Structure 1
Amino acid sequence: MKKIINDPRHVVREMLEGAVARSPGQALLSNENVVVRKQHDGNTTVAILSGGGSGHEPAHAGYVGEGLLAAAIAGDVFTSPSVDAVLAAIRTVGGSAGAVLVVKNYTGDRLNFGLAAEMARSEGIPVEIVTVADDVALRDTVAADRRRGIAGTVLIHKVVGAAAAAGKTVVEVADMGRRAAGGLGSMGVALGSCTVPAAGHPGFTLGDDEIEYGLGIHGEPGVRKGPIAPADSLAETVLSTIIDDLALARGARVALLVNGLGATPPMELDILLRGALNHLHGKGIDVVRAWCGNYLTALDMPGASLSLLKVDDELLGLLDAPTHAPAWHGGGKLNEAPIREVPAAASDALAATSPTPGGDAVRRAAHAAAHALLAAEDELTDLDAKAGDGDLGASMRRGAEAVLALPDHAWHTPEGALRYMADAMRKAIGGSSGPFYATGLMRAARELTDVAEPTPLQWHAALAAAADAIAELGGAKAGDRTMLDALYPAADAYKAALDAGMAPFEALEALHLAARRGAEETATLKARAGRAAYLGDRALGIPDGGAVAVAVWMGALR
């Protein structure tokens, strides 16, 4: 067993000391594992108390705060707190306004909280008990009043905490809690067991394809095993049981709680929330509030539970009431418009332009470059495998195929062609090559905005701008053994040839020769950027694959 603890005998006290240290509104009783709210006045406001065995964090201490609990009593891991601890909590926060104890329906909790309540009443403190028995998985096993109390208890905390903060009497608060508890149903599924620190081993085992349905919150097995299923199917199975038990009809209003059991990541809980919302909406059930996260856990158990609470306007108002308890995650309001359309890309607007000779020239050049890259796939793969991860050839092939697949309207203008190629390369190529080529092509397109037939000098400006954009994005420079060591020499040679009065075809020949020479010289350079930089001197003697790829497609431009 691996646990970040000191001594299994002291985990509860040390955990509470850490939790209270980060919660300025709380205090820890000196001689009991009880967390109380500092500013609660038991003579003016009903005190709400809850608790149980530890291991359910953030319950119960995380819910101590204005608008929620006045005190939380922590027993040992999965063990009911003592009568003395419960009584100490009542004496500390209770007063003439009275106290309401929210108790999960386990024998130990009922006995110890019940006896403490009776003792407090004998001392003149009015005490009411609200028992939560929300585990619908036991509906065919025990009577309704013998079911376990599980994660839905947190919603009852919120209801009675808000009712107390609103100034209701102890009887009114308890009645509100009982009414809410009567419309509450929960059920959990587990993908594995948890490990109690004192035990040091899981409480039960499951096969690789098995899960437990209807488990409790103390590491005990569920009511049955079943095969693992997709999240949507799990949501449907669990919710169908709850819906049937609560007799929810189309049009019913509910609050939903998706609760992690300790080891389930937020990603999976949100997927489960999505499935639950879709299923409930399909049944015509109105989900007016929803919460998702770790609210009442079972140590490190992988799994989750779903809870539904029937609500009306009064209960909804109590759920919405403010609270400053550290573990309450927010208001629970759902997003009424979760999907937003993506604005049209600039290249989409260019699709309406008329074809130009310059655009057709770009198409011929781009198609030639693409075919050259396809023919060089094996060469590029081999180079990259020696000084990289070996995916360059496949990446260039995907990019080339994406360029060849562009529709006719993509080639109407030089600017539009470059933008469409940028989109195609970005979407087709993973790793670094896609962003580099897309950035360079977009910067080149900006240089040719509204230019129907670029001159050779304008093409040089576009190429130089593309190289600069790639350098800015990657943080590399000439001499770092990257594609820039082919791009920059090629751009310089092209400009020099044009300045010398060479014909465009001759300038393109100079461009290609400079790119090829620059690519070959990368074999003598020590890599200072890219994956080859991790190899140190072992990359020497091998040309950079990215630079060679530039030389390949530049050769096709002739």
Structure 2
Amino acid sequence: MKKLINTPARVVRDMLEGMARQAPHVAILGDENVLVSRPQSEAADRPVAIISGGGSGHEPAHGGYVGPGMLAAAVCGEVFTSPSTDAVLAAIRATAGPRGAVLIVKNYTGDRLNFGLAAELARAEGIPVEVVIVADDVALRKHADRSQRRGIAGTVLVHKITGAASARGMALDDVARIARHAAANLGTMGVALDGCTLPGAERSGFTLADDEIELGLGIHGEKGVERTAPLAADALTDVLIENIVDDSALKHGERVALLVNGLGATPQMELDIVMRAAFENLAQRGIRVERAWSGTLLSALDMPGCSISLLRVDDATLDLLDAPTDARAWPGGGAVNAAIRIDAPMPQAQGSVRVESESAHDWARRIRPALNGVADALIASESQLTDLDTQAGDGDLGISMTRAAHAIRDVPDAALSTPAEALAALGTALRRAIAGSSGPFYATALMRASRHLAGIDHPSAKDWAAAFTHAVQAISELGGANAGDRTMLDALLPAASAFEEAVSGGRSVDDAWSLAVAAAQEGAQETANMTPRAGRASYLGARAVGIPDGGAVAVACWLAALTPHLRG
């Protein structure tokens, strides 16, 4: 498996050195894989030291949370492996003064043993130490009591709260009490979409088929408690929230902090979709979200998936969550936006379009079937267009054309009372429906054609041909592309030219349009032999040769779809 590493044996040390270079308030403790906050004040003046850690591979945890207001030290074991007792003890000695230390330990056997033994050794040296266990994984609630559950992503919230309490100069017992209270009011559940791969390993610890997801996983690549079929984001979020709310006995009117955590390979887009669903779910339950974060705060290497954490809060807890910290990875903020929409400005009134005359009714009856035919053809071509665009673009053409199809169907009949009005309405609909370049190109073309036909209630074939030519010229002017650049113009230009020449030569509209469609289809196929000089495919250069341009193929598709609806 390809990784950006030197050797597996150096992964953790190399990573820590890279982390330390980005955080002037952090230093590596001697030869130990321990990050400590600096500068260290005189021992007598030090607040309670908050120390955490565990196996590496959970970045930005734990080293990213070292800094005033959060952790005094992060003890980093090898990947998914507990750090040694000596490393933990070294961290305690380096950061704890007479007020002692609180060790925040995720509930794994190796971590409990090594942190627990280090605490005993430190106490024997006269350093007061309290150990706080975090066991927030509610997925195991039907299989084990709380003392046997795993500690996962919600631990980061405990770090923040405990670090803030320490920074305020509280005594060891008070800091430990606050940490335990937070851990007891915390629930987390995760889902994996696939496994993760350790440095040096040839394959992931487990793999999931396309029709499988793993519910209730831990953070070390271990399997979850249930394998099930994939769910839409809203439904999956409901499952996670239901388990957490039930386990934590959260009731209507209670207040929570919400954390949607990525497991290492989940885009922020998907985490925010889950955040939206979680917020709506909790709102429907009457549970008030006081703070919310989404992002990768405690990962499992490169695992795709996420977890949701809910922390029951009061004003005192919120005050600690809001306290400042220099820890580089803490996302800060967390304030919840209660009203996320504002009214968009309305366009100035232009007067409504109404179908009044018989001529207007006739145009609507003629244009509507043609539009539906185009929409049907674009929807049927979605997979083909997606495949072409994936090979030589960004893969969004198919869905963009499907959005265009739905927008075309939604144009009201009242907007189809004249050809010019119909083209203008189509331009507006496509401008709003299609993102990226296709929307502006089609909208500009349609608006240019609409202006050419303005005031002509019954355009002749020559009027339509001229409007088609003007529309294609508008696209060329807007995008700067020309024939041979491997774009949609390589279908549009020959089609418009063939149509105009045939009409000017006295051919029937049916014959002229058949020639236009054939020219577009030939031009679209010819793009496979062109080196792209415009558009996103131009970044691929010669690598795009052999693949027809998706935009040109789309043009040929909708031109052909119009054929049955033209009259001579």
Specify if TM > 0.5: yes
Whose radius of gyration is greater, 1 or 2? 1
Task: Name the residue aligned to 1:304.
Answer: 306
- Structure-2 residue corresponding to 1:9: 9
Measure the CA separation in 2 of the matches of 1:521 and 1:208: 41
Q: What is the CA-CA distance between 1:324 and the residue it aligns to?
A: 3.3
Query: 2:352: which partner in 1?
Result: 351
For 2:10, the aligned partner's letter is: H
- Alignment of 1:533 with 2:542, yes or no, is no
Report how many aligned residue pairs link the two structures.
527
Which of 56, 60, 69 pairs up with 2:71?
A: 69
Q: Secondary structure at the match of 1:483?
A: helix
Instruction: Assess if the C-alpha contact under 8 Å between 1:259 and 1:292 holds in 2.
Output: yes
Say whether 1:29 aligns with 2:18: no
Name 2:81's counterpart in structure 1. Answer: 79
Q: Report sequence identity in percent.
A: 51
Cα distance in structure 2, aligned partners of 1:27 and 1:396: 54
Q: Deviations over 1:372-391 (max 9, x none)?
A: 999xx9xxx9xx99xx99xx
In structure 2, do the counterparts of structure 1 residues 453 and 320 end up closer, same or farther at CA, with 3 Å as the change threshold? Answer: same
Distance 1:12 1:396 in 2: 47
Deviation at 1:127? 3.2
Q: Report if aligned partners of 1:47, 1:164 keep a CA contact under 8 Å in 2.
A: yes
In the superposition, relative to structure 1, how do residues 270 and 517 fare at CA in structure 2: closer, same or farther (>3 Å)?
closer
Q: Cα deviation per residue 1:198-244 (whole Å; 9 max; x = unaligned)?
A: 6655445666655444333233334x334224144443333333223
Rounded to whole Å, the distance in 1 between the matches of 2:331 and 2:420 is: 49
Please give the alpha-carbon distance, in whole angstroms, between the structure 2 residues aligned to 1:212 and 1:138.
Answer: 13
Alpha-carbon spacing, 1:252–1:547, altered in 2? closer, same or farther (3 Å) = closer
8 Å CA contact 1:359, 1:452 repeated in 2: no
TM-score for both structures, normalised by structure 1: 0.74
State whether structure 2 residue 319 is matched by structure 1 residue 323: no
Structure 2, unpaired ranges of 5+? 390-396, 532-543
Residue 55 of structure 1: how far off its partner (Å): 1.7
| Equivalent pair of 1:350/1:416 in contact (CA under 8 Å) | no
Taking the TM superposition and a 5 Å limit, the aligned residue runs for 1:459-470 are 466-470=471-475
Q: How does 1:536-551 map to 2 (within 5 A)?
A: none
The answer (yes or no) to whether the contact 1:49–1:99 under 8 Å persists in 2 is: yes
Paired amino acid for 2:39: Q
SS at 1:91's partner residue?
Answer: helix
SS at match of 1:185: strand
Paired residue for 2:177?
175
Which amino acid is the alignment partner of residue 476 of structure 1? A
What is the distance in 2 between the residues matched to 1:127 and 1:268? 40
Q: Quick check: 1:156 aligned with 2:158?
A: yes
Residue deviations 1:21-56, cap 9 Å, x none? Answer: 233332222311011223353624333211111122
Query: After the TM superposition, which residues 396-407 of structure 1 pair with which residues of structure 2 at under 5 Å, given as runs?
Result: 407=412
Shift of the alpha carbon at 1:311? 0.3
- Say if 1:484 and 1:209 are closer, same or farther in 2 by CA, change over 3 A: closer
Match of 2:48 in 1: 46
Change (3 A) 1:478 1:199: closer
Deviates more, 1:189-198 or 1:29-38: 189-198
CA contact 2:529–2:545 (8 Å) conserved in 1: yes
Q: Which piece of structure 1 moves more, 8-17 or 365-374?
A: 365-374
Secondary structure (helix, strand or coil) at the match of 1:154 reads helix
User: Which residue in 2 is equivalent to 1:225?
Assistant: 226
Q: Normalization by structure 2: what TM-score?
A: 0.73
Aligned partner (choices 410, 417, 422) of residue 415 of structure 2? 410
- Give the superposition deviation at 1:484: 3.9
Question: What amino acid is the match of 2:14?
Answer: E
| 1:259 and 1:304 in contact (8 A); partners too | yes
What residue in structure 2 maps to residue 334 of structure 1? 336
Identify if the C-alpha distance between structure 1 residues 355 and 159 changes in structure 2 by more than 3 Å, giving closer, same or farther.
same
Q: Partner residue of 2:539?
A: none
Q: Distance in 2 between matches of 1:352 and 1:370?
A: 18
RMSD over aligned CA atoms reads 5.1
Deviation string for 1:51-97 (max 9, x for gaps)? 11112221101111232212111012222212221222223333345
The one-letter amino acid paired with 2:60 is P
Match of 1:295 in 2: 297
- Identify the residue that residue 492 of structure 2 maps to in structure 1: 483
Unpaired runs of 5+ in structure 1?
A: 495-504
Pair 1:33–1:508, CA change in 2 (3 A): farther
In the alignment, what sits opposite 1:108? 110
Q: Distance in 2 between matches of 1:536 and 1:200?
A: 34
Conserved 8 A contact 1:483-1:550: no
Partner of 2:137: 135
The change in CA–CA distance for 1:368 and 1:101 in structure 2 (over 3 A counts) is closer
Deviations 1:362-418 (A, max 9, x none): 8799689979999xx9xxx9xx99xx99xx9xx999999987985442145676333
Output the amino acid matched with 2:3: K
SS of residue paired to 1:307: strand
* C-alpha displacement of 1:124: 5.0
Residue 472 in 1 paired to residue 469 in 2? no
